[in-house]
Amino acid sequence: MKQYIKYDPWKIIEEGLLPEYNKVSESIFSLGNGKIGQRGNFEEYYSGNTLHGNYISGIYYPDKTRVGWWKNGYPEYFAKVLNAPDWTGIKIKVDGEKLDLHTCKITEFKRVLNMEKGYFRKRYTAEFPSGKKIKIKSKRFLSIVNDELGVIKYSVEPINFEGEIEVLTDIRADISNQDANYDEKFWIEIEKSTAVRPYVISETKKTNFRVCTAADIKTEFDGKSTPLENLEKIEKEKYAAFKFTLPVKKGKTTTIYKFAAVTSSMYYEKNILAKIAYEILEYAEDKGYEKLLNEQELAWQKKWTKGDIIIEGDIAAQQGIRFNIFQLNQTYTGQDERLNIGPKGFTGEKYGGSTYWDTEAYLLPFYLSTADQKVAKQLLIYRYKHLEKAIENAQKLGFKNGAALYPMVTMNGEECHNEWEITFEEIHRNGAIAYAIKDYIRYTGDKYYLAEYGLEVLIGISRFWAQRVNFSKNKQKYVLLGVTGPNEYENNVNNNWYSNLLVCKTIQYTIESFNFVKENYPEEYNRIIKKTNFTVENETVHWEEIINNMYLPYDEKRKVFLQQDGFSDKELIPASALSHLERPIHQYWSWDRILRSCYIKQADVLQGLYFFEEDYEIDTIRRNFDFYEPMTVHESSLSSCIHSILASKIGDKKLAYEFYLNASRLDLDDYNNDTEDGLHITSMGGTWMTIVKGFAGMRVKNDKLSFEPFIPEQWKFYSFKIGFRGVLLKFEVLKSIVKIENQSNSNIELLIFGNNQILKQNSVTEIALRQKNN
């Protein structure tokens, strides 16, 4: 664990340049606006350890897998969101000496991510080998008002010399991914120019996405506009730049403004990309830097007004949750149904930037409660649009009759994960997608979604489950063999309890949805029957038989659900017995040793109890929590949030808080020694849930929001806002009372500690806070 980030409620602050942590900081200081994003790289020369990263949503490359592609049903490629052309470069030389933050002597270094206003700034003093000293200040943001625009303000002040500096502002398209399977570069050049403003048009191999990256430069000396002296226009392969000189004077500031436009064939015809990019740059020039920055700050203010969580009395917790919310809002805006959320967002290359089941399980609740309903709906429509591909994925594995297996990893609906124990066996992802449909409808009340999109997806998934299970004559039950549950420290197991439960829950919900659409939307029902060739009598009778006879492993002695067959045969040793020198175990143990151990990577049985807690008594949840949590090593970013929510449920406030702090500061403090690869974006939705679903106990029961809040001992109060079916509510939880404000023009009926509470429009009510036993 690293704790070099300074505590601040609204800012992420690093003081003093720490080269050994630079890649970690590059992840932490990342920026995004839903369409483009970048790691917190330096604009200057930097010869130290770095991972340069710029990313464009939806633009990917099918990188041929190294193993398994010759096997039937195995994916032929791993889709990767590409490291895109880099426009951020502002490289300085003084009398031929490079301003390189790795080789110059750097003092007074500070970099700050201002989450409240949506920008990244840094400052430092550099001393060159010649003894010349220079002060640098920079500020950078990616506009959320115009999501194809990036802006940098870069200021130079000499301390002990005068004269000129050489400036190189470039666009580099000769970019590679560090995780390329065959060290291949994925971009080819189409066109470049420096005639008016520098731009490079590049295109991806195979997928043929085309991108124009263009820049405009403005300069000032001592607050007044100044021309680019000795301008040299440079064009090389996949490269365009302006090199020029600027006057500098001791005690005076020379400023460079760099505006960049990134346009792609995702949104425009290929032949007009440069034209559109130039229009964006002209728009930026007309507005000017200060107005663009002001618009950015106001746009972020609007997001925070609705989506902020305020914590009083615990600055580490406050900084943590705001960092998570900030990154979630940077990553996804819901404006394009073709886009989804990669585990690393715009912050790194690991996991390829593709979509996992994390979206449905951990992210959907955040967007349901904090954004317009259409934003969350787009995430579901994304899966609907990929239904045909999911059916093709199942066909490749031998399934028939419209059975759908959604991919573990995807960009376009096609499976592209290249580890067999995940690709073929971690099929519980299908259940998470079905659960998300129910979760969306339960929250929004949008039942027409079933007729419009959802039922078709549910039928495909249920058909898959019906073919994937088999009847065991020995057990006289249906079983699910050869699977991997959420705990990826177990592979190829039989009857993973969570997966088996999802079979039943998905099929049951599909039957309920089928009957609902038949009764309420007969025309849509007939359309779906015809489109899916659904045979009502044959299929539903078989499905009911599976539900009624599904094997769910159970330990009678311990009165707990068994993670899978044979789990109780393991040597059950608590994780507390492990030496800290062996943690995380995936970095120190052989895979053979991990698979034979009892150690659990993340919630597995407990994931099922979280999803379907209404079906289980509190004592059942507590018994299973007390059995499995001690053996859980929490080496997945998705682990702490579920354990925190369940700890809140069973009344263990201390443990719930500890898990919350771990989840919220997972990347800021680099708990698992992997932040340098990028942030854990998808787990950040889980962090939000630990407060709203955990500490505040929010659920939807019988079409009503229900709350059973408590407050961690370390906090004075916390507050958040929730949007629910057109009503905006503000909750404030203090030591002895709960304040609820209806900020809408409609009345709403809530459940507070199980009691009905009608909250009239534009009113505030106070309720005594009940104390949960620890």
160: burial class by Cβ within 10 Å (0-12, 13-18, 19+)?
exposed
CB atoms within 10 A of CB 183: 8
Q: Which two tokens stand for residue 68?
A: 């398994």
Q: Which two tokens stand for residue 133?
A: 């000293």
Helix (H) or strand (E) holding 47: none
Residue-by-residue DSSP string for 491-554: -SBS--HHHHHHHHHHHHHHHHHHHHHHHH-HHHHHHHHHHHT--HHHHHHHHHHHHHTB---E
Task: Tell me if 382 sits within 8 A of 340, measured CB to CB.
Answer: yes
473: burial class by Cβ within 10 Å (0-12, 13-18, 19+)?
exposed
- Contact residues for 55 (Cβ-Cβ < 8 A; gap 6+): 32, 36, 37, 38, 81, 82, 83, 84, 346, 353
Q: Is 488 a catalytic residue?
A: yes
Closest to 691 (Cα-Cα) out of 712, 667, 672, 713: 712
- Contact residues for 298 (Cβ-Cβ < 8 A; gap 6+): none
Which one-letter amino acid corresponds to residue 181?
N
Locate tokens 């470069």: which residue?
89
Task: Tell me if 340 sits within 8 A of 379, measured CB to CB.
Answer: yes
Burial 623-660 (b: 16+ CB within 10 A, else e): bbbebbbebbbbbbbbbbbbbbbbbbbbebbebbbbbb
Cα separation, 43 vs 56, whole angstroms = 19
User: Which of the residues 488, 629, 635, 732 is marked catalytic?
Assistant: 488
HEC secondary structure over 221-236: ECCEECCCEEEEEEEE
Catalytic residues: 488
